[in-house]
C-alpha cells in the first residue's frame, strides 16, 4: 500500500522550550512535498472558482474524475482513470463477453482513433480500419472526449443502431451504421491453407489459451498430415499478459518467454515456458503487422528470439509497456490503469515504440507498400506524442522500400502475406524461400526534393 500513498510531512509539537532538529535530508524531502501541497491547494482554488463562476452549474464528481484522468493520461497514452462503470466494462471485456461494436480504440490529441476492429464483430463487418478516426457517434461529436467517455456512447443494448462518423486518410468523412451486438469474440480459430494449419488469434482474453488449444487439437485431428503451422497475430491489439504467456507456452519446450521490469532495476519478473509443444515440433511461421500490439508482440518476440518460428509481415505496433489495474476502494471508486513496467523479449529487447521487425517483410498490398515508402499514415506507438521511449534508446525504422509486395499478377482479393507465410514453410526457412522482385514505390525522400526545387523557382525569379 505504501507505493500508492502520498506520505505527508509529520510534525511533532513538543511544547514550549523544546528544541527542533531537522536533518538536511529531511529538509530536502520536505521541499518537493511542500510544492505538491501548494499545487493541490491551487487545484482546490480552481475547482472553487469553476463552481462559483462557470456559466452553468457543474458536477463536481465529473470534474474531479476528469482531472484524475487528465493527470494519468499526461504520463503516457495507456495510463488513465476508470470510473466504476468503465471498470466494470473492462472486466467484462477481459472475460471475453460484453455489449458493443467490437472495436479497440485509443485517444490521440483529443480524437478517438481505431487501433483495430475485432474479427467477426459489427466493426469488422462494416469495414472499419486501423487508423480510422471516429469524430461523432449518432451525430454527436466525440472530439475532445476521453476514450472512456467515447466508448460509453458506443456501447448500449444489443440490437440498437449506432452511427459512427469516420475520418479516413484520402477520403471525405463518411457515416457507418452498425448494430450493437453482444460481443462474444472467439479469440482463436483454426483452418487449413493447403498443407499447413492456420491458427488465428485475434485477442488475448481469459479464454484465449484454452480456445487456441482446442481449435488446434480439432484441426490436427481432422488433418493428421499437417506439415506446419501459421500463427496469425495480425491486427491483434493485445490483452492479458498471462494469456500471451499461455499461447507462447503452447509451442515452447521451456525457457524464458518474457520479462517485465519496473522502475527499480531489481524489480524484474520473468515468465518461463513448461515442457510440451502441442504441435509436436511442426515448423512454424508467425504473421504480424502494424496492428499487432502488446500481448501479440510478446508472443511474436518470444517465438522469434527462441528460434521457434520465423516472422512474416510488417513491423508490429511497438507497445512494450505493462499496465496494472489498481482498484480504488475495492472498485467502488473505479480503478487506476497505470503503466508500471516495460516488457522485454527473451534476448533482452525492449520493443517499446520500435516494434518487432519480421524476418521477411511483406506488404499486404501495393498501396501499403507505397505508404511504407512514403511513411504515410502509418499508425504505431511511436506516433503518440507522449509515448514512453524504448529502454535501450532505439528508434523505429523510418521510411523505406518494403522487401516484398504483391506483384501485378497477384489477385489482391487473396491474402498475399498468408501465401508468403505458406511459401516459407514449404521451403523450410525465410533464407531458402525464393524472393520476389523488390517493389519499386516512389520514396518520399526522392519525391520531396523535386517539389522543393519547383516551389523555389518563382521565389528566385
Model pLDDT for residues 74-84, shown as the tens digit of each residue: 999 999 999 99
What does the alpha-carbon distance between residue 129 and residue 132 come to, in Å, rounded to a whole number?
Answer: 6
Average pLDDT over residues 87-100: 74
177 labelled catalytic: no
pLDDT of residue 432: 97
Q: What is the DSSP string of 166-205?
A: EE-TTS--EEEEEE-EEE----EEEEEETTEEEEEE--B-
Catalytic member of 305, 321, 337, 380? 305
What pairs with residue 384 in β-bridges?
none
Q: Is 339 helix (H, G, I), strand (E, B) or coil?
A: strand
- Cell output for 154: 458506443
Position 247 scores a pLDDT of 98
Residue range 260-274: mean pLDDT, rounded: 92
Does the active-site annotation cover 415?
no
End-to-end CA distance of the chain: 71
The residue to which cell 482463436 is assigned:
188
What SS3 string covers 287-333?
EECCCCCCHHHHHHHHHHHCCCEEEEECCCCCCCEEEEEEECHHHCC
Bridge partners of residue 259, in order along the sequence:
270, 344
Q: Which of 207, 220, 319, 337 is catalytic?
A: 319
Mean pLDDT over 174-188 rounds to 87
Give the model's confidence band at 10: pLDDT under 50 very low, under 70 low, under 90 confident, else very high: very low
The pLDDT tens digits for 358-377 are 999 999 998 888 888 887 55
Least confident of 294-308, 334-348, 383-397: 383-397
DSSP state of 388: P
Nearest-angstrom CA–CA distance, 82 and 227: 46
305 included as an active-site residue: yes
Residue 442: DSSP 8-state: P
State residue 191's pLDDT score. 97
Give percent helix, percent strand, percent coil of the chain, each to the nearest 5.
35, 25, 45
Write down the architecture of domain 188-427 according to CATH: Alpha-Beta Complex (3.90)
The CATH architecture assigned to 98-183 reads Roll (2.30)
pTM over 0.75: no
Share of the chain above pLDDT 90, in %: 58
pLDDT for residue 455 is more than 90: no
Catalytic residue among 146, 202, 294, 321: 294
| pLDDT the model gives residue 90 | 80
Q: Rounded to whole angstroms, how far apart are CA atoms 416 and 408?
A: 12
Average pLDDT over residues 390-416: 85
Which residues are registered as beta bridge partners of 313?
288, 361
Higher pLDDT, 108 or 48: 48
Produce one character per residue of 376-409: b if its CB has 16 or more CB atoms within 10 Å, e if not. Answer: eebbbbbbbeebbebbeeeebeeeebbbbbbeee
pLDDT of residue 443: 61
Q: How confident is the model at residue 21 (pLDDT cuts 50, 70, 90)?
A: very low
| Confidence at 29, pLDDT banded by 50, 70, 90 | low
Domain boundaries, the chain: 46-75, 98-183, 188-427
The reported pLDDT for the residue numbered 189 is 94
Amino acid at each position: 500500500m505504501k507505493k500508492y500513498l502520498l506520505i505527508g510531512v509529520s510534525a511533532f509539537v513538543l511544547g514550549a522550550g523544546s528544541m527542533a532538529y531537522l536533518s538536511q535530508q529531511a529538509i530536502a524531502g520536505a521541499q518537493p512535498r511542500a510544492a505538491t501541497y501548494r499545487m493541490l491547494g491551487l487545484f482546490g482554488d480552481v475547482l472553487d472558482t469553476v463552481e462559483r463562476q462557470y456559466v452553468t452549474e457543474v458536477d463536481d464528481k465529473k470534474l474531479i474524475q476528469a482531472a484524475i484522468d487528465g493527470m494519468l493520461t499526461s504520463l503516457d497514452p495507456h495510463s488513465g482513470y476508470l470510473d466504476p462503470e468503465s471498470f466494470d466494462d473492462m472486466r467484462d471485456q477481459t472475460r471475453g463477453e460484453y455489449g458493443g461494436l467490437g472495436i479497440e480504440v485509443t485517444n490521440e490529441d483529443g480524437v478517438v482513433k481505431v487501433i483495430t476492429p475485432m474479427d467477426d464483430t459489427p466493426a469488422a463487418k462494416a469495414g472499419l480500419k486501423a487508423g480510422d478516426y471516429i469524430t461523432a457517434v449518432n451525430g454527436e461529436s466525440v472530439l475532445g472526449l476521453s476514450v472512456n467517455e467515447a466508448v460509453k456512447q458506443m456501447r448500449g443494448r444489443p440490437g440498437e443502431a449506432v452511427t459512427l462518423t469516420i475520418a479516413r486518410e484520402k477520403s471525405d468523412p463518411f457515416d457507418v451504421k452498425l448494430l450493437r451486438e453482444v460481443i462474444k469474440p472467439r479469440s482463436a480459430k483454426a483452418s487449413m491453407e493447403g498443407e499447413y494449419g492456420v491458427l488465428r488469434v485475434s485477442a488475448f482474453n481469459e479464454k484465449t489459451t484454452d480456445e487456441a488449444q482446442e481449435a488446434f487439437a480439432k484441426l490436427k485431428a481432422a488433418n493428421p498430415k499437417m506439415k506446419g503451422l501459421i500463427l496469425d497475430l495480425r491486427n491483434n491489439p493485445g490483452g492479458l499478459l498471462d494469456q500471451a504467456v499461455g499461447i507462447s507456452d503452447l509451442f515452447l519446450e521451456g525457457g524464458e518467454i518474457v520479462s517485465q521490469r519496473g522502475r527499480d532495476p531489481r524489480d524484474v519478473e520473468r515468465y518461463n515456458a513448461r515442457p510440451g509443444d502441442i504441435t509436436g515440433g511442426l515448423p512454424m511461421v508467425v504473421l504480424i503487422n502494424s496492428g499487432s500490439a502488446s500481448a501479440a508482440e510478446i508472443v511474436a518476440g518470444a517465438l522469434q528470439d527462441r528460434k521457434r518460428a520465423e516472422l512474416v509481415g510488417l513491423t508490429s505496433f511497438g507497445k512494450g509497456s505493462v499496465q496494472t489495474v489498481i482498484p480504488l476502494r475495492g472498485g467502488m471508486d473505479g480503478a487506476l490503469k497505470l503503466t508500471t513496467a516495460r516488457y522485454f523479449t527473451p534476448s533482452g529487447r525492449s520493443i517499446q515504440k520500435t516494434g518487432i521487425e519480421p524476418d521477411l517483410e511483406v506488404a499486404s498490398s501495393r498501396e501499403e507498400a507505397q505508404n511504407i515508402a512514403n511513411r504515410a499514415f502509418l499508425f504505431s506507438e511511436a506516433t503518440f506524442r507522449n509515448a514512453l521511449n524504448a529502454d535501450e534508446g532505439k528508434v523505429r525504422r523510418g521510411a523505406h522500400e518494403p522487401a516484398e509486395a504483391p506483384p501485378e499478377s497477384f489477385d489482391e482479393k487473396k491474402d498475399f502475406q498468408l501465401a508468403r507465410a505458406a511459401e516459407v514453410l514449404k521451403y523450410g526457412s525465410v533464407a531458402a524461400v525464393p524472393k520476389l522482385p523488390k517493389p519499386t514505390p516512389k520514396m518520399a525522400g526522392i519525391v520531396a526534393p523535386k517539389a522543393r526545387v519547383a516551389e523555389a523557382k518563382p521565389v528566385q525569379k
